[in-house]
Structure 1
Amino acid sequence: MHQKPDYIQLTNSLKSACQSLDLDQESTLYKNIIAVSNYLANPNFQIAVFAPFNYGKSTLLNAMLGNRTLPIDLIPTTGAAITVKYGATLRTRIILSDGTEIYRDGTNILEKFAVLDRNRQMQKNVVSVEVFCPHPFLEKNVELIDLPGTNDREAQDNLVQDKLLGADLVIQVLDARKLMTLGERENLRDWLLEREIKTVIFVANFLNLLTPEEQKQVYHRLLFVAESFRADLPPGFSNLYRVDALPALRARLKGDIALTNSSGLSAFETSLQHIVGILQQDCGGVRLPRVEAITSQIQSLLADKIGKISHEIKTFDENKTSKIAIKEKAKNIIFQGFKSSIYELKECLKLPNLLAKYQSDLAVVLAGNDLQSWQIGTLKQDLTELQLSVMGWLYQAYDFFQEERPEDLTIPFPDAPKLNLPPKPNHTNSHDLRETGSIAVGGGVGWLLGGPVGAAVMGSISYLLNKNIQNNEQQSKDVYHQQVANICIAAAEKYLSDLSVQGLYILTKYEHKASKVINFQPDQEPLEIRKKREILRNSQNAFNQFIIELGKVNIKTKYPPYQQNLETAKSANIQASPPGNSTESTHTEIKTERKVEAQAKADINTNYNPQKKVEIPFQKGSKNPPKPVNVEAKFRAWEIDEEIAQMKANMNSASTQQQSKTQVDKNRITRAYQILGLEPTVSFAEVKQTYKTLVKKWHPDLFVNQPQMQKQVQEKIRLVNAAYNILEAYYQ
């Protein structure tokens, strides 16, 4: 038999899946996977012989080999799995855990390395034991494996289970004097049937020690047991044979053909050789069913692991997306509020609005040399309220996003204007001017106007700005006063123009800096989630490759291959959009800022022309500016609604989970625990152990001589079996 290439790939895929599951190397599944992988990689046909200790396994093998190849004694002796292979001469190879290989002629060295120690335990430093024997049966790529006796030590039982999984054919030796014990039946179910190992032959030993009548009864009983086992053997071959092992060995050593025949050995060997020859032609039919049993567990565990990690990542992504959505809404609302406040402040700083609101009062203030008081009491109060409104949104954005701390918005006042008054006129009313005082105003030469002259100037200011004086004669008499009023009016306009240009320039720069404050970047993904994404990707790839390899050997699966989850990949790279929502708009804003800055500087450096109306380039092209709304109140209300909605979503999620749990039939599960006498908190291992204990206690074979108890016992066993099946399904 030659190894098929597909088996190599399947073996690699098995090991890769095992690695993805991160199984404990001492776990049963891990050992089963390694055993199956080695099994698939071995081109030889392996026959494993197993039974409880002192059932005559080694004696049977020695009889088949024709000499005392393997150690036998009246106490449990086989302390390792001894593999017998073909060799030109009888030799033994021992491999130790430190890598040492020991070769010896003959098999005497087995007594040192392949038997139980004084404490009847296997030697831990022995990795493998191989015997090479020149037997024609072995020359046909056949290996015989002598396994340690079962029902003695747990370590030996674990080794037997591993080796059975890698055997193409199993020979189970029975002791005719004990029929088939409950332990042997459990091993048939747990070690063979549940793992799809069905190529099994039973060999009854020690029948020669019974009377003819007992032999007949026992053999019929064993035949019933053997026939009830669902063996997968070639048609026409029995799965039960009688071999008196010790007489057969003696006959072989003496060369007594008649005694060999009467011991049952010849008939058994003939059938065995035919069965092996047929099964060798269909190695896939033998090996793949047990591979399928293992791969079914692997697929289930991998699917569970992938599902669990996917759920964790999905939950994280949904939470992340939800948080980003909340912040995006908050950013938009804050940005709208900020824009609204900026708009109000810009409107206030437009020169026409400044002139309409302040020019008259400012001209009077300048005439009265009371600029500082007016700046503090009126202008600063008005501008501070609007500036605080703008800054309030930025500080709210900083509290929410914690990106960049905002700067305070400060719009300084222009320098005090210089009032350069004309020379005093020489006319009859000139004595009135002596009521004035000559004082420097704003660092230049000016007049502090007071008394009747001051009143006349203020009246002229009112006339010139409001055009409400109709007496032309009076106008001609107040020419000097009107000249002074014009100077104050022009100084007020220049002051307000400087305030407008400088204020709008500062505000424009401040507005662009604010985009860094009203913004957020998604938190960097935690290392734990990044690792989970990598594990998920690797697990899905391993699972998909596993499915492909199973398909190559015609092993069906109920699981479809996993598709790459693009949505998860997208959510892992969610980026927040800056205010304005596009890179193009950001570039446009930067260009506009530079243009505004250049124009504003030019306006500031231009000599003042009282006839020229100052216009701010930033205002060009603005259409339908947003109306101020109570955005903060709207945001707070939305925030509360969002929190309530989230709480409701969490409550609905918990309710759904609770409903899914209540779908399980709790009454049946509770009843099952009661039948087995267990608490609902126990592990499945405890359930299984309790089940075995109860089966041993109430097995009908124990009450053969008590007919009155048979019905009660059968009912008890039925209930125990039913309870176990319910709990087994529940724990899965």
Structure 2
Amino acid sequence: MSQIENYKNLAASLKSASDLLNLNSTSQIHQNVITVCNHLANPNFRIAVFGPFNHGKSTLLNAILENRTLPIDLIPTTGAAITVKYGSDVRTRIMLINGTEVYRSGTEILQQFAILDGNRQMRKDVASVEVFCPHPFLETGVEFVDLPGTNDREEQDNLVKKQLLGVDLVVQLLDARKLMTLGERENLRDWLLDRGIKTVIFVANFINLLEPDEQKQVQNRLLFVAESFRAALPPGFSNLYRVDALPALRARLKGDVAAATSSGLVAFEAALQNIVGILQQNRGDVRSPRVQAIADQIQQSLKAKIDPILIEIQSFDEKQNTKIEIKQKAANLINQGFINSSRELREWLALPNLFAKYQADAAVALVENNFKSWQTNVLKKDLTELQLAVVKWLYQAYNFFQAERPEDLSISFPSEPQVTLPPRPNNSDDLSQPSSIAVGGGIGWLLGGPVGAAVVGSISYLLNKNLQQEDEKLANESYHQQVAKICIVAIEDYFSRFSYQGLSTLAAYEQQAIKIICFEVAQEPLEVIQKREELQRLINNFNQLQRELATSKIFLNYQLYPEILKHNNTKREYFPQPEKVSTYSTKTPREQQQQENFAKNTNIKVESPRQRVSPPPPSPRPEEIEAKFRNWELDEEIARMKAEMRSPGSHTGKQQQKNQTKTAPQQPKTQVEKDKIAHAYNILGLPTNASLTEVKQAYRTLVKKWHPDLFVNKSQQQKQAQEKMHFINEAYTILSEIHN
């Protein structure tokens, strides 16, 4: 890409940034941007003559142009920046602010538009003034800019400062009679050096008006000025020249070459043409410092707008992400608890497990005419506990997310088992009451006494045998064994229907749970959306300007802002990943069980009803204790996250835990409290400076060691464990309170 294209893109970025900053059109920085951009687009090499009023700026230019092209007088006259360009003849073009163009031959029109009025004011309606002149130096692509004098009026000073940014070389005219006044030094620093304008040539005027001895002193002072200012000129050229402007003009108008040479004009013109010829070839190096200076101001202004909005948006995103993170974690924890409880209920409903745990007792209850009571007191009690464990997690989700309100899980029981008894043998002494059918209410009233006891005892025997006997063997069995087999088959059918209905109900309930264990990420407030869009525009412009500057080999000490990801402003729902569960066969559980399990021995032993006592509950496995403890941890974690959600300045869970861990415990006020706390630390086996995290870890370890359920078959040890757990719980409560 050519330098012209680079400058064109750079100018577009500068203007875009200026517009984005909403700068007033009359502000200094906005005017500077327009000037610099116009300068980048100008292919000509611009030379400005700069200095206080009545220093002879217009006179010097007229001498170079060999004509009285520009207005000169003893009072400040130049009231506009007059650009002198090449033309085939002398003519003037005036552009007014309203768009009107005044185009005249000669330069007399300047007296109307380009000089100060009687009140020494510039005209307000003039946009630009151009003079065209057939001079060979101008034909090389050079433009001269005659600027109003400084140190006269603020309005003129502002115009001069603006125009200086749009030139490639500054000729600063000095008055040898008052060389480098305080105002000139300030202008040199503030108007030129600090704005990246370093291609400067000093020209001393009025030396011819001094006495010979004074001229020597001035020459020494001029050398000091030149040496103290290191201009960015080509090597081998001086940045200081003497030109007696008025004598030079007179000499040129008369065609007196000797007088023009003695005035210093010829030497200055030769140096100027050579310097311009070299600088024209490296115009980018000349213009870059000016662009860099104004671009730095623009970037600073952009950063001043970007950084506060960026901090505000980042703070908002951090809070929102923290809330979402907490909700995601809560959803995952609740979902995990729900899955575990559902799995436990699903395993309980599995037909082999129902047979293993309840088949014998259910068959005996049926024989003893006690099935309904057994179903209520045993089976329903266990089912209710498992159902409540499942539903509890959905209510946790509802309380946390306020999504769809859950319904209770209700697995119904099938109708009670019905049996048809075979005819009683006539030769049985035990059968005094012939009967054929007992339905629903049990058969105990039909099989009293020894026969009933024999049937119950046969249940234990038959459950250890293969029930898929051949038909011819059935006739050889005793009557009570036939009745026992009928009761077992009836219970199998009952549990088959119960398992199928229960698993189907649970599967449907798990699908409903997806709508409850979820949360909605709300749409952002309109104010935040607008600020995010504004921030995006500012950052895009900042980065684009930075890239264009780098392409033009202008480097500022700024880093690109990372691209702001577009925020999803639509409502979103978050669902935790569901656990994959095995699908159910299209066959009924009864058919599956007959196909898979009936051919195998069930190996379940049942005691005689007269000798039978309720067996002690089996000792829980360590993993069961771990699961119970994990549920307790989930409950505690969810409660903590609820508290975090209510806290206006909540951090993430890890940060909260970190802060909580580092927070010093509350100091006890009395000696009794101190002793109580020290005793609590001692019970948990911890030093008195232990953190809350260490307290929780010690508590977990002790609970897993002394949980009473681990000693269900050891009454003495269980009592000891209960007492131990009492003290452990009490110690944990005390230490938790002082750390919160």
TM-score by length of 1: 0.66
Amino acid at match of 2:160: V
C-alpha separation in 2, matches of 1:651 and 1:186:
60
For the residue of structure 1 that corresponds to 2:393, the secondary structure is: helix
Alignment match of 2:550 (pick from 517, 530, 547): 547
C-alpha separation in 1, matches of 2:114 and 2:193:
29
Matching residue of 1:162: 162
C-alpha separation in 2, matches of 1:181 and 1:49:
17
Identical amino acids, percent of aligned pairs: 54
For the residue of structure 1 that corresponds to 2:71, the secondary structure is: coil
For the residue of structure 1 that corresponds to 2:627, the secondary structure is: coil
C-alpha separation in 2, matches of 1:182 and 1:310:
44
Deviations 1:285-331 (A, max 9, x none): 54445456566777888899999999999888888887777666655
C-alpha separation in 2, matches of 1:222 and 1:609:
114
Matching residue of 1:105: 105
Amino acid at match of 2:2: P
Amino acid at match of 1:463: G
Matching residue of 2:9: 12
Unaligned runs of 5+ residues in structure 1 are 469-477, 616-623, 653-732
Deviations 1:37-65 (A, max 9, x none): 43343222211011123333223323433
For the residue of structure 2 that corresponds to 1:599, the secondary structure is: coil
Deviations 1:455-514 (A, max 9, x none): 77864553333459xxxxxxxxx9888877765554443222211121123223444554
Tell me, yes or no, if the aligned pair for 1:309 and 1:536 is still in contact at 8 Å. Answer: no
C-alpha separation in 1, matches of 2:586 and 2:78:
98
1:88 CA drift (Å): 1.7
Deviations 1:672-716 (A, max 9, x none): xxxxxxxxxxxxxxxxxxxxxxxxxxxxxxxxxxxxxxxxxxxxx
Alignment match of 1:462 (pick from 435, 456, 473): 456
Matching residue of 1:276: 276
C-alpha change, 1:631 and 1:125, in structure 2 (3 Å) is farther
C-alpha separation in 2, matches of 1:414 and 1:90:
115
Q: How does 1:424-503 map to 2 (within 5 A)?
A: 459=453, 462-466=456-460, 489-503=488-502
Matching residue of 1:579: 577
Alignment match of 1:599 (pick from 587, 598, 601): 587
C-alpha separation in 1, matches of 2:368 and 2:482:
15
Q: Which moved more, 1:337-346 or 1:244-253?
A: 244-253
1:169 CA drift (Å): 1.7
C-alpha separation in 1, matches of 2:159 and 2:538:
32
1:416 CA drift (Å): 3.7
Matching residue of 1:723: none
C-alpha separation in 1, matches of 2:144 and 2:354:
107
Matching residue of 1:131: 131
Matching residue of 2:507: 508
Q: 1:631 aligned to 2:630?
A: yes
For the residue of structure 1 that corresponds to 2:587, the secondary structure is: helix
C-alpha separation in 2, matches of 1:364 and 1:47:
117
C-alpha change, 1:211 and 1:320, in structure 2 (3 Å) is same
1:347 CA drift (Å): 2.8
Amino acid at match of 2:381: Q
C-alpha separation in 2, matches of 1:37 and 1:329:
55
C-alpha separation in 1, matches of 2:213 and 2:129:
42
C-alpha separation in 2, matches of 1:200 and 1:291:
17
C-alpha separation in 1, matches of 2:551 and 2:82:
36
Amino acid at match of 1:501: Y
Matching residue of 1:79: 79
For the residue of structure 2 that corresponds to 1:145, the secondary structure is: strand
C-alpha separation in 2, matches of 1:530 and 1:556:
28
C-alpha separation in 1, matches of 2:147 and 2:318:
55
C-alpha change, 1:454 and 1:489, in structure 2 (3 Å) is farther
Q: How does 1:647-686 map to 2 (within 5 A)?
A: 647=656
Amino acid at match of 2:110: L
1:185 CA drift (Å): 0.9
For the residue of structure 2 that corresponds to 1:7, the secondary structure is: helix
C-alpha change, 1:458 and 1:398, in structure 2 (3 Å) is farther
C-alpha separation in 1, matches of 2:222 and 2:659:
62
Matching residue of 1:379: 379
1:202 CA drift (Å): 1.9
C-alpha separation in 2, matches of 1:578 and 1:301:
45
C-alpha separation in 1, matches of 2:374 and 2:657:
56
C-alpha separation in 2, matches of 1:608 and 1:285:
93
C-alpha separation in 1, matches of 2:652 and 2:71:
77
1:83 CA drift (Å): 0.6
1:143 CA drift (Å): 0.8
C-alpha separation in 2, matches of 1:305 and 1:85:
41
CA RMSD of aligned residues (A): 5.4
Q: Which moved more, 1:161-170 or 1:268-277?
A: 268-277
Tell me, yes or no, if the aligned pair for 2:47 and 2:143 is still in contact at 8 Å. Answer: yes
Matching residue of 2:147: 147
Q: 1:646 aligned to 2:634?
A: no
Matching residue of 2:201: 201
C-alpha separation in 2, matches of 1:238 and 1:425:
141
For the residue of structure 2 that corresponds to 1:127, the secondary structure is: strand
Amino acid at match of 1:579: Q
Amino acid at match of 2:586: A
C-alpha separation in 2, matches of 1:430 and 1:602:
35
C-alpha separation in 2, matches of 1:175 and 1:234:
25
For the residue of structure 1 that corresponds to 2:412, the secondary structure is: coil
Tell me, yes or no, if the aligned pair for 1:15 and 1:33 is still in contact at 8 Å. Answer: no
C-alpha separation in 2, matches of 1:645 and 1:447:
60
1:142 CA drift (Å): 1.6
Q: How does 1:205-284 map to 2 (within 5 A)?
A: 205-234=205-234, 237-249=237-249, 252=252, 260=260, 263-284=263-284
Matching residue of 2:354: 354
C-alpha change, 1:558 and 1:431, in structure 2 (3 Å) is closer
Tell me, yes or no, if the aligned pair for 2:6 and 2:551 is still in contact at 8 Å. Answer: no
For the residue of structure 2 that corresponds to 1:132, the secondary structure is: strand
C-alpha change, 1:68 and 1:19, in structure 2 (3 Å) is same
C-alpha change, 1:500 and 1:388, in structure 2 (3 Å) is same
Amino acid at match of 2:655: Q
C-alpha change, 1:94 and 1:345, in structure 2 (3 Å) is same
C-alpha change, 1:494 and 1:614, in structure 2 (3 Å) is farther
Tell me, yes or no, if the aligned pair for 2:324 and 2:521 is still in contact at 8 Å. Answer: yes
C-alpha separation in 2, matches of 1:363 and 1:381:
18
Matching residue of 1:619: none
C-alpha separation in 1, matches of 2:509 and 2:516:
11
1:162 CA drift (Å): 3.2
Q: How does 1:28-67 map to 2 (within 5 A)?
A: 31-67=31-67
Tell me, yes or no, if the aligned pair for 1:205 and 1:245 is still in contact at 8 Å. Answer: yes
Tell me, yes or no, if the aligned pair for 1:324 and 1:576 is still in contact at 8 Å. Answer: no
Q: Which moved more, 1:357-366 or 1:192-201?
A: 357-366
C-alpha change, 1:427 and 1:410, in structure 2 (3 Å) is same
Amino acid at match of 2:107: T
Deviations 1:158-186 (A, max 9, x none): 43233223322211122334332222112
1:414 CA drift (Å): 1.3
C-alpha change, 1:650 and 1:200, in structure 2 (3 Å) is farther
C-alpha separation in 1, matches of 2:153 and 2:30:
21
Tell me, yes or no, if the aligned pair for 2:47 and 2:171 is still in contact at 8 Å. Answer: yes
